[in-house]
Amino acid sequence: MTDANPKKGTDPVLFLWKVERRFVDAEHTLNIIKGADLAVWPGQSVALIAPSGTGKSTLLQLAGLLERPDSGEIYIGSRPTMALPDAERTSIRRSDLGFVYQAHHLLPEFTALENVMLPQMIAGLEKAEARRRSADLLKYLGLGERLSHRPSELSGGEQQRVAIARAVANRPRVLLADEPTGNLDPATSERVFETLLSLVKVTGLAALIATHNLELASRMDRRVTIRDGLVVELG
């Protein structure tokens, strides 16, 4: 198992145990993930570096409870999730998991502030408190002068920082990111990535970040890949 624990005695926040995922059509069974193990601890950033077609996106979908494994177990904290009904899995996604994608997926009709407020209000937070928390978070990310701007009025890097703010607005325990800087130029990618890593350390998030950028991956706490359906630790 990939278990480089920075704090001995603590438990992982995200733990995949002997996870398997296969796809079956009329003629073939395609085994994508074959008994994969992976543990990520609070405040730890893990780079997932794997070629296209090896199961990287599938692993993230499984870790994010967007797909169910065919066997094995996925723990969020100490809670097993495979057998939970869909409503409980959705509840965990809303409270404990944050997602950042290559495309920002911001709602174009809302401002940066409103985009970050929305998931908090859906979770039941009062509007005034959601506004305060969102403004504080966006200011921390260097967007204090852009609160009232809609996505079309923001640069690509600013849009992605708003997306990061939205992902962590409900104070999740785990952050999952799929090529979060893939659409950005190198300089902007650098700034956004530094923002992401800073948030992980400040908030104690456990972060699993898929990236093709080896230079950025080298600055994360750990690096893993998928080889023959297994998660393998890289040096």
The Cα–Cα gap between 74 and 76 comes to: 7
Residue 112: per-residue pLDDT: 97
The Cα–Cα gap between 177 and 98 comes to: 8
The Cα–Cα gap between 191 and 189 comes to: 6
Residue 209: per-residue pLDDT: 94
Positions in the chain short of pLDDT 50 = 1
- Identify the DSSP state of 2: B
Pairing of strands 45-48, 71-76: unpaired
Q: What is the pTM of this model?
A: 0.89
Pairing of strands 206-210, 45-48: parallel
- Any idea which residue has 């979770």 for tokens? 123
Count the neighbouring beta carbons within 10 Å of the beta carbon of residue 150: 16
From 16, 5, 10, 170, select the one nearest 80 (Cα to Cα). 16
Asked whether 222 and 44 are in contact (CB, 8 A), the reply is yes
Asked whether 91 and 124 are in contact (CB, 8 A), the reply is no
Asked whether 46 and 208 are in contact (CB, 8 A), the reply is yes
Residue 174: per-residue pLDDT: 96
The set of residues, in sequence order, having a beta carbon less than 8 Å from that of 126 and lying 6+ positions away, is none
Residue 193: per-residue pLDDT: 86
Asked whether 223 and 27 are in contact (CB, 8 A), the reply is no
Residue 2: per-residue pLDDT: 55
